[in-house]
A and B are shown apart, each in its own frame.
Chain A
Amino acid sequence: MTLKSLVILFCFALTLFAHESSSFKERRYSYALDKDIFFEGFITFNDASIMIEYVKPESKVLTYFEEKLSIQDDKGFWSVDAQQMPSLSYLFMIIKAVHEQNSLLLERFFDATTQENQTKLLPKEAVAHVLEEVIITYQNKRLHSLHVKMKNKDRIEIEILD
């Protein structure tokens, strides 16, 4: 990953995450089901955690803290160890690294190329077993979307609304 690419990426990312909370739309494509699943909600970055509050299709709160994921829904409060789920772990790692402008972290796992409003991250080594490609796009110097292609042909697209 070139340093220049990352600097540009972070300049854009900064404008998004300068806000305490941002609303987003998420589309998950499941290859196993050949189906799109849609979510909407808010994402908030705290000092040591990330909180995602889903409002659609169901109301659920997800907190990522110290590699653990806590879920609060109508069933109550439960948690999963993200380290046991590599795909999920890498996904949060990318989101966190972009938020914290942690180029060192991304350099370790990806090669990056930036063209106009788009940065493409290509996974290295073992990460390539799980991820295929990550595309980050921005509009008006703001992070616009995050597209993640999984190795198992699943897709995740997150679009920032404000």
Chain B
Amino acid sequence: MKFWIKSLNIILFCLVLLVFLLLKERIHLSSNLSAFLPENQSKTLLDMYAKFNHTTEVFIASEGFDKASLERIKNLEEKLTRSSFLELKSDILPNAKRLEYQHQNAFYLKTFQPKPSNEIATTLQTLYEGIVHNPFYTTIDPYDPLGYFSAPPENKNILIRNAHLALGNFGYLSIFKLNPNQTQQNYEELYHFVHENIKGVDNIRLFSPAFYFVENAQKIKSDVTLLVCVSSALLVLLYLLFIKNIGLLFNTLLSLASSVMLSFILLSFVWDDISLFVLAFGSAISTVAIDYMFHHYLHGHYERPLGFNKTVFFGFFTTLGGFFIFGFVDFLLIQQLCLFSMLSLTFSYLHFAFIYPIIGFGKAPDFAFFKRTFVLPYRLITIISLLIIIATLPFVRINTNLRSLDYHNQKLLTDELFFKQQMKEVGTTPILIEAQSLDALVEKSRLIAQKSPHALLPLSFLMDKKSFETKAKVLKDFDFSSTQKIVLEEAKKQGFRDNFFKHAYNASLLHPTFTPITHELLESMGIHVLTHQGIFYTLGMVKANDVAMLEAQNLAHSMETQTLFSKALAGVQNELVWCGILSATLLCLILLWIYPNALMLCFSFILFPIALILLSLIGESLSLMHLFMLFIVMALSIDYGIYKADAKAQSSATHNAIFFSLLSTFAGFGVLIFSRIGALEHIGWVASVGVFALFLLLLGREKQ
């Protein structure tokens, strides 16, 4: 029987591990931060933008414009498209259907600027002389010899050299996209496929937005692994140096691992994708749960039955309450962090509060780390901290740029900038255009093209019904039959072939049948338009300066990532603040209930860390993770306030427990400072300053 009791934790761990292994396919970790944004209009737009599959485009440039460079890019094109996994997007050959449409509607797609009929002879003479005298081969348009119709300047972001797409002055460029038959956007498969195929090929530059997802995920995973290893090593060191109880160390590690696995399993039933940051944050939060073990252990709960430890329960309950409140913030990343923390802390607490006393462990070593000789004016500290908070609040700036939370992948950022600069995309912004019908989408595109002359819009060359009818009326009012007659007569006089201009300004071009814009027509022209809930969407590229004007006139939505993230997260910061206030109120009520006589002491444990954190961040804009962690530190700090205010507070066991708890919290969260990922580094910084503040408070004692 004793063996089974001693092995209880191991059995539980094995069971959880078994379930975890069975269900691990359910757990999908994602590094895509935008997937965890709140559900609002900006998120919908970002989702629509993602559906255009721009993230899976691959850009490859071969250096130089010589034959070797062309061969290199051609070989790569052949290799990458051989398996039909990718297809070439950068085919410069004009689309036959598009040419046909442009020919049929030539007079409608061009600007009509007639000239006086007495200039016809001069115009024809100029044409004649051009053919005869131009050193280069010159052609004439037999349908519009007078040049009454002029094509609007075609904005192209592509450059052609030697009949191949070129990337500025660097070399040849090829753009690939996933084959439309690929139903799933598997970034990892794409990443490995491309890198396998370019192996050994020199003098090329490569970029794809998809690489961010793969490389950042790898970096985050390796960071998390490193952080987990460092924090585990610190914990092991702590145990070996002070606790010197290998059995307890072994069981604690098993309990933490069980809690993390169980939390992940349950989270996978709530959400299809779990943020990778949960893994890092989860590893850190599990070290907070060790507090509960230290307090039970150092107060002798594992040595002999001492009954229910209310102090630890209140500490656990307040932290849980904090996470519960923040779970209502409409930001999936924060919701996942909160639910994970609640589950993980609960499982750990159940282990340490109920299972460990049954298993039983040897007596805790008797030692004191420091003598609390200082008398700290906790009341004064509370007041000063409050004043600091009030004074710093007006200077607090919130940064809602989600990119600041992500991994700073310098290599990819450099590659992306290189391609953007060469493609002259710097200073341009992608836009999303939406309309109730395809015809309206074309109408809007044409309007945007007028208002933003340098815009790149796939639909602006098409004709919507309204524009068609307007143009038809203009052309009907002009006397083309007389013009044609004069052209034929004058052309003969000038020496042109007889009846060469007999098709000039003919009826089929002047009065064509309107071609309705349909999905089939667009597909045949290679134009991709999306439909979602009866709304039609297309993309475009405009000068960044024009975006505000287009948005103000409800013509387009900016797809500039930073703006969209900021808009999507604008509500989140208010919610975070409100949840913080609610959480603080809850803490105060709990404190009023359990320690009405030690309120100021407890408050100092909440306010002093916050004041110090705010001071440490003065001059910096706070990210959402700073803000979130600030409130979490508040919920964690109160644990220490509660322990300190406990009747047995002056016992060295309590102080040792608090000291160990702080060390373990630092081991978990402190190491995050060294992370290269914004979100983790911000969490780490706030937690470390918080731990430091708590440690200072712990050094002193109250005036007797």
Partner-B contacts on A (CB < 8 A): 28, 30-35, 37, 39, 48, 52, 54, 58, 60, 62, 66-67, 69, 71, 73, 80, 83, 85, 87-88, 91, 93, 96-97, 100-102, 104-105, 108-109, 125-127, 129, 150, 152, 154, 156
Selected interface stretch from B446-454, B495-503, B555-563: B495-503
A62 to nearest B CB, angstroms? 5
Q: Which of B133, B136, B496 contacts A58 (CB 8 A)?
A: B133
Give the CA-CA distance A53 to B135 in the complex, in Å. 9
Q: Nearest A residue to B159 by beta-carbon distance?
A: A67
Which A residues are in CB contact (< 8 Å) with B1? none
A71: which of B135, B161, B495, B496 is its contact (CB, 8 Å)?
A: B135
Candidates B93, B131, B164; contact of A125 at CB < 8 Å: B93
> Are A126 and B99 interface neighbours, CB within 8 A?
yes
**Chain B 601-622, CB within 8 Å of chain A: the 1/0 string?**
0000000000000000000000
Query: Which residue of B94, B99, B137, B160 has the most chain A CB atoms within 10 A of its CB atom?
Result: B137
Is B74 at the interface (CB under 8 A from chain A)? yes
Interface size class of B (residues with CB under 8 A): 20 to 34
Q: Which residues of B contact A93 (CB under 8 A)?
A: 162-163
> Which residue from chain A places its CB closest to the CB of B497 in the assembled complex?
A34
Given contacts A67-B160, A102-B162, A125-B96, contact A62 B136 (CB under 8 A): yes
B162 touches A88 (CB 8 A): no
A28 closest partner in B (C-beta)? B137
* Cβ-based interface call for B310 (8 A): no
Is A73 within 8 A of B96, CB to CB?
Answer: no
Question: Apart from A31-B497, A60-B135, A62-B136, what are 12 other A-B pairs with CB-CB below 8 Å?
Answer: A32-B500, A33-B128, A39-B135, A62-B135, A85-B139, A105-B163, A108-B163, A125-B93, A126-B94, A126-B95, A129-B99, A150-B139
Which of chain A's residues have a CB closer than 8 A to the CB of B71? 104
B582 at the A interface (CB under 8 A): no
A67-B161, A105-B70, A125-B96 as given contacts; A52 in contact with B135, CB under 8 Å: yes
Nearest Cβ on chain A to B340's Cβ, whole angstroms: 55
Least CB distance, A2 to chain B, in whole angstroms:
17
A sample of 20 cross-chain residue pairs with beta-carbon separation below 8 angstroms, ordered by A number, consists of: A28-B137, A30-B132, A31-B500, A33-B131, A33-B495, A33-B497, A35-B132, A35-B495, A58-B133, A62-B136, A66-B161, A71-B136, A88-B137, A93-B163, A97-B162, A97-B163, A102-B70, A104-B71, A126-B94, A154-B137
Contact of A109 among B131, B163, B500 (CB under 8 A): B163
Q: A98: shortest Cβ distance to chain B, in Å? A: 12
- Specify which chain B residues have a CB less than 8 angstroms from the CB of A87 in the assembled complex: 137, 139
List A contacts of B140 (CB < 8 A): 32
Please state if A91 and B137 are interface contacts (CB–CB under 8 Å).
yes
Bound-state Cα–Cα, A80 to B137, Å: 12
Given A32-B500, A33-B497: A105 and B131 interface contact (C-beta under 8 Å): no
**A35 to B640 Cα, complex, angstroms:** 100
Q: How far is the CA of A30 from the CA of B161 in the complex (A)?
A: 28
Instruction: State in angstroms the CA–CA spacing of A104 and B172 once bound together.
Output: 13
Select one of B96, B136, B139, B142 contacting A80, CB under 8 A: B136
Q: Which of A30, A48, A97, A101 has the most CB of B within 10 A?
A: A30
Judged by a CB distance under 8 angstroms, whether B65 is at the interface is yes
**Bound Cα distance A48, B166 (Å):** 14
Residues of B within 8 A of A100 (CB): 67
In the complex, the answer to whether B137 meets A105 with C-beta atoms within 8 Å is no
Q: Given A33-B497, A100-B67, A126-B93, are A105 and B136 neighbors across the interface (CB < 8 Å)?
A: no
Task: Rank and list the top 5 A-B pairs by shortest CB-CB distance, nearest first.
Answer: A60-B135, A126-B94, A34-B497, A126-B93, A62-B135
B67-91 CB contact bits vs A (8 Å, 1 = yes)? 1001100100000000000000000
Given known contacts A88-B137, A93-B162, A104 and B74 CB-to-CB distance under 8 angstroms: yes
Question: Which of these, A39, A67, A108, A154, contacts B139 with CB under 8 Å?
Answer: A154
Q: Write the chain A residue with the least CB distance to B140.
A: A32
A127 to B500, CA, bound (A): 23
Contact across chains for B135 and A73 when beta carbons are under 8 A apart: yes
Q: Which residues of A contact B160 (CB under 8 A)?
A: 67, 83
Q: Which of B140-175 contact A (CB under 8 A)?
A: 140, 142, 160-164
Pick the contact of A69: B70, B133, B136 (CB < 8 A): B136
Given contacts A93-B163, A102-B70, A105-B70, contact A33 B132 (CB under 8 A): yes
User: Does B139 contact A152, Cβ atoms closer than 8 Å?
Assistant: yes
Q: Which residues of A contact B133 (CB under 8 A)?
A: 58
Residues facing A in B655-680 (CB within 8 A) are none
Asked if A105 and B135 make an inter-chain contact with CB atoms under 8 angstroms apart, the answer reads no
Residue in B70, B136, B142, B162 whose beta carbon sits within 8 Å of that of A32 in the complex: B142
Contact at A33–B96, with CB atoms within 8 Å? no
Name the residue of chain A whose CB is nearest to the CB of B164. A105
Measured between C-beta atoms, what is the minimum distance from A58 to chain B in Å? 7
* Assembly CA distance A80 to B133 (angstroms): 15
Whether A32 lies near B497 (C-beta < 8 A) is yes
Distance between Cα atoms of A157 and B521 in the complex (Å)? 40
Interface string of B48-79 (1 = CB under 8 A from A): 00000000000000000101001100100000
Chain B stretch 173-212: residues in CB contact (< 8 A) with chain A: none
Selected contact of A105 from candidates B94, B162, B496, CB within 8 Å: B162
Q: Which residue of A32, A54, A109, A126 is within 8 Å of B135 (Cβ)? A: A54
Q: Given contacts A67-B160, A104-B70, A105-B162, are A126 and B96 in contact (CB under 8 A)?
A: yes
Contact between A32 and B496, CB atoms less than 8 A apart: yes
Q: Bound complex: CA of A149 vs CA of B499, how far in Å?
A: 21
- A66 nearest CB neighbor, chain B only: B161
Residue of A nearest to B65 (CB): A48
Q: Is the CB of A156 within 8 A of B137?
A: yes
Q: Which residues of B contact A150 (CB under 8 A)?
A: 139
**Which residue of the partner chain B has the closest CB to A71?**
B135
Which B87-144 residues sit within 8 Å CB-CB of chain A? 93-96, 99, 128, 131-133, 135-137, 139-140, 142
CA distance A130 to B86 in the complex (A): 31
Whether the Cβ atoms of A32 and B163 lie closer than 8 Å is no
Residue from B65, B131, B500 within 8 A of A37 (CB atoms):
B131
Contacts of A73 in B (CB 8 A): 135
- CA of A36 to CA of B318 in the docked complex: distance in angstroms? 96
Kindly list chain A residues whose C-beta atoms are within 8 Å of the C-beta of B65. Answer: 48
B33 vs chain A, min Cβ distance (A): 41
Q: Are A32 and B67 in contact (CB under 8 A)?
A: no
A54→B134 CA distance, assembly (Å): 11
Select from chain B the residue with minimum beta-carbon distance to A91. B137
> How far is B139's CA from A150's CA once the two chains are assembled, in angstroms?
10
The smallest beta-carbon distance between B81 and chain A, in angstroms, is 14
The CA of A129 and the CA of B103, in the complex, are separated in Å by: 11
Q: Which residues of B contact A80 (CB under 8 A)?
A: 136
